[in-house]
């Protein structure tokens, strides 16, 4: 009988299952009132006296092995049930990752960068907190110049200076162009996208925070004709419209200066609304770089000429996606942003 007990011990130790019902049947088989252990306990009196000690020790080994096996199987299966409850069926394929949405301003900015990159323009960036020289003075806007009133400015207190240097939130990315001209020799062909700040009332058509892309090309023999051809290329690539017109205007850092209109057309009611029934739509300002600006940046205006242009990214995005309120770009409404989920 001792050999039988040892055989049972081996069977108990090798037993495994993935069913709690089978674990319970196993427990009853060995530890139940009519189980194998009680049957061997009933035969104890039949065991020869000299084997009783060994027989009793072997029964206890079987009892301990069966109890341990039942306990370990229950714990293992309970853990599997808990994991499944938390994580679901771990054998199932994973859930697909939801596609994110690019912000429409980022989409349009990248499109503009790509258009100009194809004709050799690189991208330059600069600080959003600027000094007076780079934001105004170097751009032909000396102190007390009346044109400074064209841009209501956010000034920033600088605790590290003695009050002789004004810091401000840049009002245009032209300051980046100044820094680029200071650190690079012609030929220069760069665009400067970035966020700018002006102290303006927030409405459906204007905001105190917005984004610009400004372009600069400086080389020997650059003319207004080169500027016009560059703008025609840009409007054709971005809008699919090549008909433009240049209206005389004034900017302190360009001379001559012009506003750029494209012929949007009058095919829909929306076209009539956004062009006020004319078919023409203003999209940017431009002009030949003023010689004083070149001098301020240590570039000889007798040897080099150049042109510059600038546009608001929000305005372009509103045209491309027919968005009627500029405030929608800054409210982070998921219903609005998810409309651009499939746009790259």
Per residue in 291-318, pLDDT (tens digit) is 999 999 999 999 999 999 999 999 899 8
**Mean pLDDT score, 151-171:** 74
Q: What whole-number distance in Å separates Cα of residue 222 and Cα of residue 302?
A: 12
Q: pTM for the full model?
A: 0.68
pLDDT at position 267, please? 85
Answer yes or no: is pLDDT of 112 > 90.
yes
pLDDT interval class at 51 (50, 70, 90): confident
Q: Is 242 within 8 Å of 232 (Cβ atoms)?
A: yes
Q: What percent of the chain has pLDDT over 70?
A: 91
Would you say how long the chain is, in residues?
344
- Name the nearest CA neighbour of 109 among 180, 192, 169: 192
* Residue range 64-82: mean pLDDT, rounded: 81
Helix (H, G, I), strand (E, B) or coil at 100: coil
Pairing of strands 209-219, 155-156: unpaired
Of 267, 265, 261, the closest CA to residue 315 belongs to 261
pLDDT band at 343 (very low <50, low <70, confident <90, very high): low
């Amino acid at each position: 009988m001792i050999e039988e007990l040892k055989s049972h011990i081996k069977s108990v130790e090798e037993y495994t299952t993935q069913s709690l019902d089978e674990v319970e049947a196993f427990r009853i088989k060995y530890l139940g009132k009519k189980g194998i252990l009680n049957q061997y306990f009933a035969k104890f009196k039949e065991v020869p006296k000299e084997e009783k000690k060994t027989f009793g020790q072997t029964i206890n080994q079987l009892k301990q092995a069966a109890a341990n096996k039942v306990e370990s199987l229950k714990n293992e299966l309970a853990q599997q049930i808990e994991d499944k409850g938390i994580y679901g069926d771990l054998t199932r394929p994973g859930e697909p990752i939801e596609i994110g949405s690019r912000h429409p301003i980022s989409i349009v900015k990248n499109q503009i960068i790509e258009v100009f990159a194809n004709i050799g323009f690189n991208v330059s960036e600069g600080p959003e907190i600027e000094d007076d020289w780079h934001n105004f003075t170097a751009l032909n806007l000396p102190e007390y110049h009346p044109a400074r009133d064209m841009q209501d400015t956010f000034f920033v207190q600088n605790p590290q200076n003695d009050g002789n240097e004004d810091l401000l939130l840049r009002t245009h990315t032209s300051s980046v162009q100044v820094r680029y001209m200071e650190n690079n020799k012609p030929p220069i062909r760069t665009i400067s996208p970035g966020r700018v700040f002006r102290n303006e009332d927030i409405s459906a058509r204007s905001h105190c925070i917005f984004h610009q892309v400004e372009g600069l090309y400086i080389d020997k023999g650059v003319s207004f004709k080169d500027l016009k051809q560059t703008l025609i290329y840009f409007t054709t690539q971005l809008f699919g419209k090549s008909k433009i017109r240049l209206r005389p205007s004034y900017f302190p850092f360009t001379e001559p200066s012009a506003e750029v209109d494209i012929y949007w057309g009058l095919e829909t009611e929306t076209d009539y609304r956004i062009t006020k029934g004319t078919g023409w739509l203003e999209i940017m300002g431009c002009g030949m770089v003023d010689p004083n600006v070149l001098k301020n940046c240590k570039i000889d205006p007798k040897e080099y000429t150049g042109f510059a242009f600038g546009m608001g990214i929000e305005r372009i995005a509103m045209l491309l996606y027919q968005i009627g309120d500029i405030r929608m770009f800054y409210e982070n409404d998921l219903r609005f942003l998810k409309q651009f989920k499939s746009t790259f």
